[in-house]
A and B are shown apart, each in its own frame.
Chain A
């Protein structure tokens, strides 16, 4: 009897659950209607697209002729598009004169170049895993995800082309002229560029947004004024503009940015500005303008951000965004330039765990993914996943051919072991050098990272022109390390197997803690090997893992003997933040190790005001030589990982493969992995 009652109860509970679920789905019919509307919209978009492509193809051919004859550098040649039949024929010859040195008084930008674009390849949807952006405002959120949203949706005045990132090319600005004293930048902005229309413009409430608005110099002034407004919550961005003097609008197409001093950072800070839509961020929800003195205040919590809106003048429109679920971008049919090959890009936001992402990639839910060293070992080197092509030591490109393609890609980062120079034992140069001699760098890269990454000797990527190749290599040599330590006074006087030193009557044995990031098995193994080597010469090293945020605090408070860290590099080389002595005692600064050297100070200051590339290279090499001698860091390895992609299921397999291999071959090896998307096609 009781069992019957319980059974009945369970049946009722299940029925209740079904009822609740069903009620929750009541909105479904409405969505059904919405869906058909979207389909209709897509169909019409596609037609527009076809017309657009046709127009582009027609325009492109005469344009190539005219660009060849362009004599005045201030006149920007028309957009270059590849000849579909012969993709390599239209490669623009790179002017030897244009070595990245800004020429003064004339337009120094290289032409806007999209020779890698093949109009006949357009189509398909690219799916990738990504993280949910915290916010979509490009000024108040400087997270990597938000910046990549804006890289799709918006353009900047000038850009670093992925094939030649050391040069600036024209983008929204047709020309850029720098004054003789490097203080005044004058831009001529392309005519006829229109802002994207936000999705909310379809609502009756936002009728006032449903018009065409052209991009003018005022938008740039508006953006820079906001960055400089102390009420706006963008302190780290504002740092780049501390020496900004004034921004003037000469006429709707001409913008002038003046700086107080001649500083090298002004180059990228001026050329890299992306505009914000003044007609949206300058207005209230009802379309009335916001008074100037309230702009900064309202900007931090602007209604447009609260509605999760994004607009730009770029290649893609944000189509659909559900936090922690999906973010969908669609081609901007009204785009002024030439964009990626995909019809749409989808970011899948709900898969965060590494294992889950790999499974998602194997299941074909995304087209590209990355592999960390341990996964590289198990999936490719051990060949646990037969769909990856096997590793072939003779042919680095062998991975491209499998059902799942893979290739090694470099990244602009390096890792290091940092020694705190503030106190013993690492306040002695010989001790630091000894540590570098005792660090079996090559062996660790081979055994722990499975060959991913190059050993580095300085904080510049080995492939960069700034890298000093003549540095002392600190090849693994325990005997040398021991001699250096003995010179510095560290000997095993009491015979307990651990080195010791007596200073001011106090005997100290050589034992220290090294702090590093937790949950990275590679680094556990690295430090295990290193501490074994150190024990052989009588040093006790205790590895102690920290969570990322906690490690940041440790670094900020300089609360360590030794630390394992990594830096992400910029194209613009700068030695001030990491190595200048003014940063040693500053709260929260990046000179963790307490490195102070008069000559480096002078050179770092000089580098900040030097624009000539050859001169900059010379200064950078000199600084690296000094740092290598002092060894505040034992430089470890440059970043490298595995980029993998789906070869299966692509409609035109060969072309698809072409796209990726072309990207891997043509692009500068140091550009961001995501740049490879330029060449993708599905």
Chain B
């Protein structure tokens, strides 16, 4: 038995990591840019389309652009960071691709330039070599800009508190120097002087340690300084920070989990409490008109998508008309003034608010659960031991509840594996239709705003719970099924 448990536990680790990698890869492929400060006008009502706002001269300051990527950890390559091995030749070829050939530049040039700018301290040394090389004069303006941006030190609220004011002043004056010494062409009268200033930034022994290449650093960066490692470190130290909510992701989840938990708990109780007796009843009356009628109507229900039913209910049962007030409330889980109700009144109010969301949450699972139960029970009713039980004269109830149901519940354990993660997962659609502030709405907002840390945090929680649920189900199986137990001794 112990071997079984250990084996299950060990298998969880690669599964968990695999899920994380896939998650991360999907988000990267989607091009999630995390910390965008873009002003998003939802434009509801006044305008049918989300529109950008004009920010005068916003793009004058390229450092802001770099900052946005760095703050989100999006400047780092996804899985493998080879920037530490860049040589002067690599940088020169990138600069040549990025240079506008004639007139307007192509998209690939623009992308190459962006890659170079985001390389950060890795590219400083090779860029310095380009700047120092008189033969590459025509590349100097682009190299100077790239140099200034790669050497630019982001000062963001996250790391700023740990810096002393002396250090901060040094960084700020360095940034100022870099900003003022970029040049657009070699025809710039201050070209020579500016180039010299930029080169001196690298030559300064204070900066040298941060910018100079070394084999050890490059190898270390290969796997350590990547977007994935960055995210994992933040994940396991609980520092996943949601830029859109300006709050740690786990704190946000902690504030809301109990709402989804409560709703899901009730809906699972209702779904199982109704489906299982329904399944038993159907199995006992198999083939009758009643059985066929329930099966058909359940499949009809099942084929109605919940967003459709939810919206219908909202518009027809929750909306006041000219004839009078609505039957059910349209938002939230309690009335505005429920704070002052007595406990029974409060509970009634809660129930009144929760009725429609619970209906929408439950009705879909009736079908699958009750049909599973019906099928399992039918299998058991046709089994030899049932015949034996009947033959020895046990009453029909004793046969069904004493033997058959017990055994058919065994297979239902598999279905129960997902319950644990279901309890904590939000129901996105129901929560947003009925304006319930649970995990579902949080996740929906996060997906809309491409808030990767928040999405990652909630996926990790539900994946973890799913794995735990599967483990528990497996263990329960071993407990109730002697065949599995005996296999592992």
Contact = CB atoms under 8 A, between A and B. Distances in A.
Interface of A: 2-3, 10, 13, 17-18, 21-22, 25, 28, 31-32, 35, 131, 134-135, 140-144, 230-231, 233, 235-236, 238-240, 242, 265, 291, 293-294, 297, 300-301, 324-325, 350-357, 359-360, 362-365, 369-373, 386-387, 403, 409, 411, 413, 415, 421-423, 449, 452, 517, 520, 522-523, 547-550, 552-553, 555, 557-559, 564-570, 572, 574, 576-578, 583-590, 594, 596, 639-643, 673
A356 B433 contact: yes
A577 B58 contact: yes
A557 B37 CA distance: 16
A353 B245 contact: no
Contacts of B53: 567-568
A568 B41 contact: yes
A53 B347 CA distance: 44
Nearest to B450: A549
B175 A230 contact: yes
A517 B156 CA distance: 31
Contacts of A265: 56-57
Nearest to A585: B105
Contact of B44 (A17, A372, A559): A372
23 contacts: A3-B401, A21-B343, A22-B343, A142-B37, A231-B155, A235-B64, A236-B37, A324-B437, A356-B331, A359-B330, A360-B435, A363-B319, A517-B50, A552-B36, A557-B114, A569-B54, A570-B54, A577-B55, A577-B59, A583-B59, A587-B65, A588-B65, A590-B58
Given A356-B434, A360-B330, A235 B37 contact: yes
Contacts of B433: 353, 355-356
A660 to B, nearest CB: 16
B236 interface: no
A321 to B, nearest CB: 14
A236 B273 CA distance: 56
A583 B49 CA distance: 25
A611 to B, nearest CB: 16
A362 B46 contact: no
B339 interface: yes
B322 interface: yes
B96 interface: no
Given A144-B39, A364-B320, A567 B104 contact: no
B67 interface: yes
Q: Which of B58, B340, B435 has the most CB of A within 10 A?
A: B435
A549 B36 contact: yes
A415 B41 CA distance: 13
Contacts of B350: 21
A22 B346 CA distance: 9
B172 A230 contact: yes
B51 interface: yes
A353 B44 CA distance: 11
Given A10-B269, A25-B343, A639-B46, 15 more contacts: A25-B346, A235-B37, A236-B58, A236-B64, A293-B165, A300-B157, A353-B432, A353-B433, A359-B330, A363-B319, A365-B330, A386-B322, A413-B43, A558-B107, A585-B100
A578 B54 contact: yes
Nearest to B266: A17
Contacts of B63: 235
Interface of B: 30-33, 36-65, 67, 100, 103-107, 110-111, 113-114, 117, 155-157, 160-161, 163, 165, 168-169, 172, 175-176, 244-246, 265, 269, 273, 311, 314-315, 318-320, 322, 325-326, 330-332, 339-340, 343, 346-347, 350, 401-402, 432-435, 437, 441, 445, 448-450
A353 B311 CA distance: 11
A134 B339 contact: no
B54 A577 contact: yes
B83 to A, nearest CB: 18
Contacts of B47: 411, 413, 415, 566, 639-641
A346 to B, nearest CB: 10
A415 B51 contact: yes
Contacts of B273: 10
A520 B319 contact: no
B55 A236 contact: yes
Contacts of A409: 46
Contacts, number: 274
A109 B230 CA distance: 53
Contacts of B55: 236, 239, 577
Contacts of A565: 51-52
Contacts of B402: 2
A324 B39 CA distance: 20
B45 A369 contact: yes
Contact of A31 (B30, B172, B339, B434): B339
A151 to B, nearest CB: 15
A363 B54 contact: no
A565 B49 CA distance: 8
A286 to B, nearest CB: 18
Closest 9 CB pairs of A and B: A370-B45, A566-B51, A300-B157, A639-B47, A589-B59, A235-B64, A641-B46, A568-B53, A411-B46
Nearest to A137: B246
A342 B322 CA distance: 27
B441 A352 contact: yes
Given A265-B56, A355-B311, A386-B322, A567 B51 contact: yes
B184 to A, nearest CB: 9
Contacts of A566: 43, 47, 49-52
A572 B339 CA distance: 48
A422 B245 contact: no
B281 to A, nearest CB: 13
A262 B340 CA distance: 61
A672 B117 CA distance: 39
A432 B178 CA distance: 41
Nearest to B32: A549
A673 B45 contact: yes
A360 B330 CA distance: 7
A134 B246 contact: yes
B361 to A, nearest CB: 17
A355 B314 contact: yes
A577 B44 CA distance: 25
A491 to B, nearest CB: 26
Contacts of A422: 104-107
Contacts of A370: 44-46
Nearest to A375: B45
A91 to B, nearest CB: 28
Contacts of B57: 239-240, 242, 265, 576-577
Nearest to B40: A548
B107 A233 contact: no
B168 A231 contact: yes
A413 to B, nearest CB: 5
A104 to B, nearest CB: 23
Nearest to B429: A353
B339 A142 contact: no
Given A577-B57, A585-B105, A522 B48 contact: yes
Contact of B163 (A236, A297, A574, A673): A297
Nearest to B323: A386
A490 B251 CA distance: 59
B437 A350 contact: yes
B110 A354 contact: no
Contacts of B61: 235, 238-239, 242
Chain B CB count within 10 A is highest, among A233, A265, A353, A574, for A353
Contacts of B175: 230
A230 B152 CA distance: 13
A605 B48 CA distance: 33
Contact of A585 (B110, B155, B269, B318): B110
Contacts of A413: 41, 43, 46-47, 51
